[in-house]
Structure 1
Amino acid sequence: MGGCAVLAVLALVLAAAAGSADAGKGVAKGKYRALFNFGDSLADAGNLIANGVPEILATARLPYGQTYFGKPTGRCSDGRLVIDHLAQEFGLPLLPPSKLNRSDLTHGANFAITGATALDTPYFEARGLGAVVWNSGALMTQIQWFRDLKPFFCNSTKEECKEFYANSLFVVGEFGGNDYNAPLFAGKGLTEAYKFMPDVIQGISDGVEALIAEGAVDLIVPGVMPTGCFPVYLNMLDMPAHEYGSRSGCIRQYNTFSWVHNAHLKSALEKLRPKYPNVRIIYGDYYTPVVQFMLHPEKFGFYKQLPRACCGAPGSVAKAAYNFNVTAKCGEPGATACADPTTHWSWDGIHLTEAAYGHIAKGWLYGPFADQPIVQSS
């Protein structure tokens, strides 16, 4: 899709956004009895640190968690994630990390863990990338964690369990970001990353079907964010001037890559829907809202600026505006957080702020950041 066409579509979506979220506000409460969340660091609520905090893990230190929790919780943000906002909109408690012992699992659990991929570790090892992928729990591994805990969610009759899962929402992802980071961070470039795409899409599709087989009836499957808008990549890459968007400052070909992944994912979900006519499969959009944060920041209370991490430290002089430095990342010595994270959409150059996640959650719930709103108006 050409740049002008993308902007035209975004303008129409933005026009619809303002009214739709407010119109649906409040009607989500009581819709679901439980939530089940799977994913990577965009959705990890503490699984990575459930069994102890690694010494080198900066995301387990302040200022992570400062905005909402007042302390680090294992979330890679200053506060709540999309899944947290969804839980609160439904009137449910925040989901406990599945690995946290003695948790109350009455209303579901969060299986997401930092570093997760759609594909299993042997896939990367076979391609010489075992050393660069930090796979602490791929999608199918997380689904096995879910299976292992099923007796704690529902140990009644088969029909009662079926009803329980039918009244739950399953959030499957985002997956794919870390799969593609493996070749990209290894310096193999987009050409190699594109070769991974069919397998990544198939892996996500297989995961969705596995959850349907376990009893899921309502699922939302998010796509990936626009890679070319994130300070971690903007700091790492040196591209010709024409590769940067004139308004956004994002790298065009990396955003195109993310857009293609999302197009293939939507196509895969379309193929699943007729196969499971009694199941609702929703595509959740991370891409459009992040691009809107760049193009229309004032609509969301964000500063108008180049992609910039709220928490970080300047790198080279030429790239100081991104506020990302690989040797002084957020939570590490030399890094500081901006005075007001609600004015930024990027928290640490890799993940989003609580404010950004809140806008995305509302867009999934009531439109327009999903191919159908989670909460349908009557």
Structure 2
Amino acid sequence: MRARMFSWAVFAALLLNIVLLINTASGCRDNLLPPKHSALFVFGDSLFDSGNNNYFDTLLRFKANFSPYGKTFFGYPTGRATDGRIIPDFISEYAGLPLIPPYLQPGQKWEYGVNFASIGGGVLDDTHPGYVINLRDQLRNFMNVEQHLREKLGDEEAKALLSSAVYLFNIGSNDYFAPFQENSRFFRSQHVQKEYIGRLIGNLTNAIQEIYNKGGRKFAFLGLSPIGCLPWVRAFDPPRTNGCAQELVEIAKQHNIALSQLLQKLENHLKDFKHSTHDFFTSFSDRSNNPRKYGFTAGKMACCGSGIYRGLPTCGKVMNGYDLCENPREFLFFDSGHATEKANEQFAKLLWSGDSDVTWPYNLKSLFEIDNKCRSNVSTE
């Protein structure tokens, strides 16, 4: 009996060693990466920029590196267009990661992820050209990071990191704002709306495909908010002050539908492709229309700015003067176009652990838990 038990123990030990050898040979090891580590790569505009626009010359309207930005959490301006933290800051915290550094910040390690977002950035090259980092250039910066990781970690470790990482996007609003500001009637034609949305979705498709070809498998998107109801839009066209720019509201809805259809199509056609989409339109509308339900006293007026709804973008611009509320936590909007830290935290929680009626088909917690690192058959088909 003892001899039989001994032989089974020897067999089990040998089997375990064989499994470990196979895993090591197939690249499923984390010698250079922390245990259960999934990086976070961030692409987008002012809702996600953690400070990239601090590092190049641009217009003041595309910067947030002056007071009172940053006052609530950091105590000083960081380049984030809010009073404290932005949504990716909370997501990185929930995922057990450090704050994800902006790509242009010198001396940063990129193994935990990188933030490529830029205030004013768009999907299209002709959105604020020369003043911001648009999606094409954000992708170019990602390719530089990908090459750096391969050189530093080796192909297998870099492949593991890139395939287990989450790629978080929020971009598109500025592409619709830019023509609207030049001509508020631009989107009144449904034909123009459809054609313009098609351009954006086409560029987003190419961006996702490029990241997928480099090993990315897990993508998360924040849909557009009701962009026609931001304080600056109300102030831009005073007759609308009691309502919203309906053509922008409608185009945001149509954009979100097209984006959702795209992601479902990609999941059906790309091997191991997984995605998360948050209904930002509804979660933002709910808080704007029912602020007290979510702990706010103001759902339409900004904390910082001037004019109607404090919708004039003068926050922090001392030369023009501006009004500043005493407690940003009472406001949904910090300035004329961006949410407060308190609101960002609420949105981040919905992204991270929200039910399938607000974040689907995976929430970010589930997406982070999907582990692609030990798949030796990662395909780029």
1:366 is matched with 353
Tell whether the 8 Å contact from 1:221 to 1:283 is kept in structure 2 after alignment: yes
Query: How much does 1:64 deviate?
Result: 0.4
> Among residues 283, 287, 293, which one is paired with 1:289 in the alignment?
283
What residue ranges of structure 2 are gaps of 5+ in the alignment? 1-33, 370-381
Distance in 2 (alpha carbons) for counterparts of 1:336 and 1:30: 47
Listed one character per residue, the Cα deviations across residues 96-152 of structure 1 (whole Å, up to 9, x for unaligned) are 11011211223111011112111123xx6xxxxxxx656522212111101112243
> Among residues 298, 305, 318, which one is paired with 1:312 in the alignment?
305
1:15 is matched with none
* Letter matched to residue 107 of structure 1: Y
Tell whether the 8 Å contact from 2:297 to 2:330 is kept in structure 1 after alignment: yes
Q: 1:30 to 1:188 in 2, by over 3 A?
A: farther
Distance in 2 (alpha carbons) for counterparts of 1:300 and 1:32: 33
Distance in 1 (alpha carbons) for counterparts of 2:287 and 2:268: 34
Listed one character per residue, the Cα deviations across residues 299-329 of structure 1 (whole Å, up to 9, x for unaligned) are 3211155x11111112xxxxx3x11225x34
* Letter matched to residue 170 of structure 1: Y
> Among residues 267, 270, 293, which one is paired with 1:299 in the alignment?
293
Q: 1:30 to 1:254 in 2, by over 3 A?
A: farther
Distance in 2 (alpha carbons) for counterparts of 1:240 and 1:356: 24
> Among residues 77, 93, 99, which one is paired with 2:98 in the alignment?
93
* Letter matched to residue 52 of structure 2: N
Q: 1:134 to 1:336 in 2, by over 3 A?
A: farther
SS in 1 for 2:302: coil
Query: How much does 1:52 deviate?
Result: 6.2
Q: 1:160 to 1:240 in 2, by over 3 A?
A: closer
- Superposed counterparts of 1:257-268, under 5 Å: 257-268=251-262
Does residue 68 in structure 1 map to residue 55 in structure 2? no
Query: How much does 1:268 deviate?
Result: 1.1
Tell whether the 8 Å contact from 1:166 to 1:217 is kept in structure 2 after alignment: yes
* Letter matched to residue 44 of structure 2: G
Does residue 376 in structure 1 map to residue 370 in structure 2? no
Query: Could you tell me the TM-score, scaled by structure 2's length?
Result: 0.79
2:332 is matched with 345
- RMSD of aligned Cα (Å): 2.5
* Letter matched to residue 308 of structure 1: M
Does residue 219 in structure 1 map to residue 215 in structure 2? no
2:30 is matched with none
Q: 1:223 to 1:106 in 2, by over 3 A?
A: same
Tell whether the 8 Å contact from 1:116 to 1:134 is kept in structure 2 after alignment: no
> Among residues 63, 68, 82, which one is paired with 1:77 in the alignment?
82
1:39 is matched with 44
Distance in 2 (alpha carbons) for counterparts of 1:56 and 1:293: 26
2:7 is matched with none
SS in 2 for 1:345: strand
% identity of equivalent residues: 27
Query: How much does 1:54 deviate?
Result: 6.1
2:264 is matched with 270
Distance in 2 (alpha carbons) for counterparts of 1:133 and 1:50: 17
Query: How much does 1:240 deviate?
Result: 6.8
Query: How much does 1:292 deviate?
Result: 1.0
Query: How much does 1:222 deviate?
Result: 2.1
Query: How much does 1:332 deviate?
Result: 3.6
Query: How much does 1:196 deviate?
Result: 1.4
> Among residues 166, 174, 178, which one is paired with 1:182 in the alignment?
178
* Letter matched to residue 133 of structure 2: G
1:108 is matched with 113
Tell whether the 8 Å contact from 1:31 to 1:90 is kept in structure 2 after alignment: no
1:26 is matched with none
Tell whether the 8 Å contact from 1:30 to 1:91 is kept in structure 2 after alignment: no
Tell whether the 8 Å contact from 2:233 to 2:244 is kept in structure 1 after alignment: no
Query: How much does 1:50 deviate?
Result: 1.9
Query: How much does 1:156 deviate?
Result: 2.8
1:136 is matched with 132
* Letter matched to residue 70 of structure 2: G
Distance in 2 (alpha carbons) for counterparts of 1:176 and 1:55: 21
The count of corresponding residues between Structure 1 and Structure 2 is 326
